[in-house]
Structure 1
Amino acid sequence: MHGWSYLHTTHSPGISKRSVQMKLYNQSKREFCLTFLCFFSMLGLCALLGLAGPVMTITVEEKATQLFPKLNQSQLAAGPFLVKTPALSPYHHQLWLIATMILDSSKDQSFEKWFQLSVSIEGVPTDHSSSAPLSETPHNRSRQLICSSNDGCEPLSILHLSQLSHTHLIVLMRFHGLEDIVSWTTVKEVLFYYKTYNPSFTKLEIWVRFVFLLIAFLASCWFGHSLRKYPVSDWAIEQKWLSVLLPMLILYNNPVFPLVFLMDSWLPSFLDSLFQSSFLAALLLFWLCLYHSLRQNDRKLVSFYLFKLLLVGWMWLVVIVASTMQRLNELHHPLYSAPSDTNHFYFFKVCFFTAGGIYTLYLL
């Protein structure tokens, strides 16, 4: 009935247990092949949608020599640079401002130099009224300029805004400490790149999440309807776990995901990270419990589940704390750069990979 026949008896040494038999174990070769064909067809459709769909990010370039007010040759090294971002909307989601120095290629020199980056940000509202500063004082951060004679200068991360609540941003930048590089080289140009999420990609992501959310909800309803007549004590361990994983899959697709773009708050993004991490943790716990259940029929909380819960909970907690700290840093410090400011995450990396290694050994 609805994919399950009642009852199936499983015999093991000293134990006889009846459970609701799953249709998966009674499929013919043709049904088994059709099941996998449908799965890989859906997987191929998703891959095709990703390849044929819009690009994830878009980048707009602007040259320092075209800024107003005009800069002389000596000011190209340290600024000040006054830029205005292209038009922004909530669908752009995030903004990265990146700078790249172009040096005179005739002077074969390689060098590394630390400097102090100072940035002031003002937001222009939707009605294009007077701009208002996003903070009372300029933001300051240390950056390192790395230039080589072969590859030129590496890009500099200026700022990263994880929430966009203004139509335009006016950014004033100064590179304190780079004034003296003009004594041994010539700065020909400074290129600024405004990198954001593609609004078309964002809208596609919203629709794709909604479709998979609907599929997960319908699958949960169908699963609950199919087993409604059978007591939970007669369910197989796979069926019990599916009753947990399917609701977690609904949360993984995040029913409140559009609030990320509609609310000027950190909470929707935090919930998105929480739901995804929780589903992946539940999936890890599922595989661990399912694999060990083949060799152990006594599944008491302390002897069977406790260590598994502590191990997977360890990894889940590390991911949640690390992602929350990074999110708060991005919100309160626009100059925060994850690739260069993650030294304090080494502890979390060690904890996570240690737990991952123990998980792998315990699984085997």
Structure 2
Amino acid sequence: MSLLFKTRSQLNDFFSEFRRYIAPTYYHDRCERSLHMNIYAIHKREILLSLAGFLSGFILLLFIGLAGPNVTKLDTLKASQIFEKDKITNKTVQQNLLVSGPFKITVPEMSTYSGYICLWITFYIKGEPDSGAFQRRFTIAINIEGKRSNNETSNPILEESFDTDGGHYHHLDCNGNSCEPIQALHLEYLEYSDYSIEIRFADLEHFNQKNPITDIHFTFQSINPSFTSLTIWFRFIFLVIAFIISCWFNHCLYRYNFTDWSMEQKWTSFLLVALICYNNPFYPLMYLSNSKIPYVLEIVFQTTFTCSVLLYWVCFFHGIRQNNRSIARFYSIKFMIVGTLWLIILYGANWSRIQKLEKPTLDEETAYYGSALLRTCNFLFYLLFIIYFIYLVLLLLTAFTELRAMPYFDLRLKIQAFLLCFTLTISFLVVILSKPTSASDSILGETDITQIPYLQLLPMTYQTTSSASFLSIFSVANLYICICAYFYYPSSASLMDSRVVRDNPTLSMINDSDEDVIYGLEIFYFSYINF
């Protein structure tokens, strides 16, 4: 008899090791103790209405952007107009000025909200329209003086001279009767209202003998102050909404232990704080302060929010399948991939911005190809970018393969997958539609973006290309996090269960009404009651 009891005890111990793989009990790997989220309590029609509101809000803001002001303000001055104004009629003198300068130009009056001054120089030559393309390397030297409207004293900002090896090399790419526009100046912070610029050329004498220069167009590009006002106001509106929702969401959660929060609730609480930073309460200081700190903060906030969302996606689609989320086995590879992307983007964006602030005549494309570190960052970014999305797709497919038949889990997966696909689609469309197809597009004022290749893949690079791009990027980010907060905040069922409701399809229905069987949980519900 003792032998039978001993054998029975051993069998019980043996099968108890496999019980967690047989039934979805509390110890099942796909179940965890968490608060009863609102997504469990609302009906299917409410979910559809919420998503419809999400899409409607985005479309409304998109139409506001399409009807918004133009981003850039263009003022073009021709060399022939300068000759007429200064009464220079001698053809030889005109030709010498076209080859070497100097051209003294007064920039149209700028305001603080103009953002920057960008000077584009376009050469027109005497050549055959069907002639082949060719290049010529030459040098441009620029002197800049600034003056306030109530002060007659001019203050030097930039002084370049050929005698002291000043100036910067540029490539003149010509085809037919015109050449590609050249960005000769990019002055970021506008401390003065009036600017005067003196421009000189060198190493164009031999080029002029074969292809006589007929005219030069000087185009000044700046941000439309109306667009600046639009960005400040909408950022402020988004900031206030994000702050209110963050306070409400965290107020709903604070009464519960942090360990009882679900994975989505923890991440949403963090992303709401990141969203407040993304909307950047210090943004107006970029126009009001002559400092690099506001520019650096803008880059840090936007990069951090973007990488936080990327990290959330891989953590969600992996973490929904398991509870053992240790730092070593679960988070390490994700932090390594996304963290490296964060560092690469942060370095490249800060380098670009600071170089433009310190060197107004910098040729960014030439500087990029001359920097081995930037080219290495570019290679690593593309490599990690591909690895990340392959990893994300694998996690997404695995999660749907394992959990698509489990009630509630499939709902969480479908909603998050829809939001992910929508966000990525809008981001890719912004990048594709805003990216210039050629350098000539920039002279039209359509773009003023960085020349670092891997930064051109980021939506945040194109937020100043048009009003529609700006509102598309910011609206999809804010609406995405806000609707996540609506779906994941603790439902009223959590108040009745002051402790916690287990995030298990068979146990989460304790507080559900009879109408909640729309998700196909009736069998699980009665099996639990009978058990």
* TM above 0.5: yes
Please say if 1:146 is aligned against 2:160.
no
Deviations 1:141-164 (A, max 9, x none): 110111112x62111111111111
Deviation, structure 1 residue 258: 0.7
Higher strand proportion, which one? 1
d(CA) in 2 for partners of 1:96, 1:202: 16
SS of alignment partner, residue 342 of structure 1 = helix
Matching of residues 130-279 of structure 1 within 5 Å: 130-138=153-161, 139-149=166-176, 152-279=178-305
Deviation, structure 1 residue 56: 0.8
The aligned residue for residue 377 of structure 2 is 348
SS of alignment partner, residue 72 of structure 1 = helix
d(CA) in 2 for partners of 1:10, 1:254: 45
Instruction: Tell me whether 339-348 or 271-280 shows the greater mean CA deviation.
Output: 339-348
Deviation, structure 1 residue 61: 0.7
SS of alignment partner, residue 367 of structure 2 = coil
d(CA) in 1 for partners of 2:25, 2:173: 66
The aligned residue for residue 89 of structure 1 is 111
Do the aligned partners of 1:77 and 1:181 also contact (CA within 8 Å) in 2?
Answer: no
Do the aligned partners of 1:146 and 1:154 also contact (CA within 8 Å) in 2?
Answer: yes
The residue type paired with residue 273 of structure 1 is I
The aligned residue for residue 336 of structure 2 is 310
Deviation, structure 1 residue 17: 2.6
Match of 2:62 among 37, 47, 62: 47
Deviation, structure 1 residue 294: 2.2
d(CA) in 2 for partners of 1:228, 1:324: 37
Match of 1:319 among 345, 350, 362: 345
The residue type paired with residue 386 of structure 2 is G
Deviation, structure 1 residue 106: 5.1
Higher helix proportion, which one? 2
d(CA) in 2 for partners of 1:258, 1:280: 21
TM value normalised by structure 2: 0.64
SS of alignment partner, residue 83 of structure 1 = strand
Match of 1:100 among 119, 122, 145: 122
Please say if 1:29 is aligned against 2:40.
no
d(CA) in 2 for partners of 1:209, 1:15: 40
d(CA) in 2 for partners of 1:14, 1:135: 65
d(CA) in 2 for partners of 1:168, 1:32: 56
Deviation, structure 1 residue 74: 2.9
Q: Which runs of 5+ in 1 are unaligned?
A: 1-8
Deviation, structure 1 residue 209: 0.2
Deviation, structure 1 residue 224: 1.1
The aligned residue for residue 511 of structure 2 is none
d(CA) in 1 for partners of 2:26, 2:70: 54
d(CA) in 2 for partners of 1:200, 1:35: 33
Q: Which runs of 5+ in 2 are unaligned?
A: 1-23, 395-531
Deviation, structure 1 residue 359: 1.5
The aligned residue for residue 113 of structure 1 is 136
d(CA) in 1 for partners of 2:220, 2:274: 36
CA 1:108 to 1:294, structure 2 compared with 1: closer, same or farther past 3 Å? closer
Deviations 1:199-254 (A, max 9, x none): 00000000000000011001101101212221111110000001100000000000
Match of 1:361 among 390, 395, 398: 390
RMSD between aligned alpha carbons?
1.9
SS of alignment partner, residue 304 of structure 1 = helix
CA 1:10 to 1:176, structure 2 compared with 1: closer, same or farther past 3 Å? farther
d(CA) in 1 for partners of 2:341, 2:331: 16
Do the aligned partners of 1:74 and 1:182 also contact (CA within 8 Å) in 2?
Answer: no
CA 1:227 to 1:160, structure 2 compared with 1: closer, same or farther past 3 Å? same
CA 1:79 to 1:18, structure 2 compared with 1: closer, same or farther past 3 Å? same
d(CA) in 2 for partners of 1:10, 1:38: 37
Deviation, structure 1 residue 25: 3.2
The residue type paired with residue 378 of structure 2 is K
Deviation, structure 1 residue 108: 5.9
d(CA) in 2 for partners of 1:324, 1:242: 28
d(CA) in 1 for partners of 2:277, 2:301: 5
d(CA) in 1 for partners of 2:284, 2:343: 25
d(CA) in 2 for partners of 1:284, 1:351: 17
d(CA) in 1 for partners of 2:29, 2:268: 27
The aligned residue for residue 4 of structure 1 is none
Do the aligned partners of 1:284 and 1:312 also contact (CA within 8 Å) in 2?
Answer: yes
d(CA) in 1 for partners of 2:175, 2:100: 19
Alignment coverage as a number of residue pairs = 355
Instruction: Tell me whether 203-212 or 136-145 shows the greater mean CA deviation.
Output: 136-145
Do the aligned partners of 1:99 and 1:190 also contact (CA within 8 Å) in 2?
Answer: yes
CA 1:16 to 1:286, structure 2 compared with 1: closer, same or farther past 3 Å? closer
CA 1:228 to 1:187, structure 2 compared with 1: closer, same or farther past 3 Å? same
Do the aligned partners of 2:126 and 2:214 also contact (CA within 8 Å) in 1?
Answer: yes
Deviations 1:115-162 (A, max 9, x none): 11111111112324221211354451110111112x621111111111
The residue type paired with residue 123 of structure 2 is M
d(CA) in 2 for partners of 1:115, 1:91: 34
d(CA) in 2 for partners of 1:10, 1:262: 60
